[in-house]
Amino acid sequence: MTDKIDKWLRSGPEAVLRKVGLREGNRVVDFGCKQGRYAIPAARIVGDSGWVHAVDKDKQGLREVKRQADKEGLRNIDTVHVAQYGTIPIRAGTIDVILLYDVLHGGYFPEKAQRDNLLRQVHRCLRPGGVLSCCLTHLRQFGWTYKKILAEITDAGFRLRRRSRPTLVHDGKLVRVHFFRFTKPG
């Protein structure tokens, strides 16, 4: 990796999450957490009074999240295995922030019904006023547009509040991506 990528990996994820609005005491779901690039920094931010649910279909990735959390002494994070299109086992209305980073695309959810199911579950888990933070990637690869995916998210009951174009590490490169912040009305 380059020095710029290494530097971003040390401080970038936490900076991104702070801009999303994460703060001490929040309850967070990182859906599609992979190895925890955002789940681990989120656990640091929310502190002992908050909680992070690292959710993924990949058991190996979840083991890495657990290993890293144990290494850092983080006791406020749990790993949750779900089937690719399964139910998110989290109580309704209990989550402050849900992260959907590099998830809403045709590689993971090729069918609209699958995306609608995920968005219904996210809506169910969020408390009124809660934040859905999305990083949308790989859309052109599947012939999709931002307009299409944003419409699906708003149709699921969310309000778009902010767009941004931060630079972050994605697929091993520093790239500018599209970030969207939604809220659940309440």
Beta strands in 70-158 (DSSP E): 77-81, 95-101, 126-136
174: tokens are: 């520093």
Give residue 132's domain range.
3-183
- Residues 67 and 93: their CA atoms lie apart, in Å, by 29
108: tokens are: 């993971």
Which pLDDT tens digit goes with each residue over 14-33? 999 999 999 999 999 999 99
Is the predicted pLDDT of residue 47 greater than 60, yes or no? yes
The three-state (H, E, C) secondary structure of 119-167, written as one string: HHHHHHHEEEEEEEEEEECCCHHHCCCHHHHHHHHHHCCCEEEEEECCE
The pLDDT value recorded for residue 32 is 93
* Closest to 160 in 3D by CA, of 176, 178, 144: 178
Which pLDDT tens digit goes with each residue over 87-115? 899 999 999 999 999 999 888 899 999 99
Pairing of strands 167-170, 173-176: antiparallel
The number of CA neighbours under 13 Å toward the Cβ of 117 is 13
**Residue 122 CB contacts under 8 Å (≥ 6 apart), including other chains:** 29, 31, 88, 98, 100, 132, 156
Q: What confidence category does residue 57 fall into, taking pLDDT thresholds of 50, 70 and 90?
A: very high
- 3-state DSSP call for residue 102? coil
Which residue type sits at 162?
A: R
pTM for this one?
0.95
The pLDDT value recorded for residue 1 is 57
Is the predicted pLDDT of residue 133 greater than 70, yes or no? yes
Is the predicted pLDDT of residue 142 greater than 90, yes or no? no
* CATH number of the domain within which 177 lies: 3.40.50.150
Question: How many domains does the chain fold into?
Answer: 1
Whether the Cβ atoms of residue 111 and residue 166 lie closer than 8 Å to each other: no
Whether the Cβ atoms of residue 51 and residue 27 lie closer than 8 Å to each other: yes
- Of 121-130, 140-149, 161-170, highest mean pLDDT: 121-130
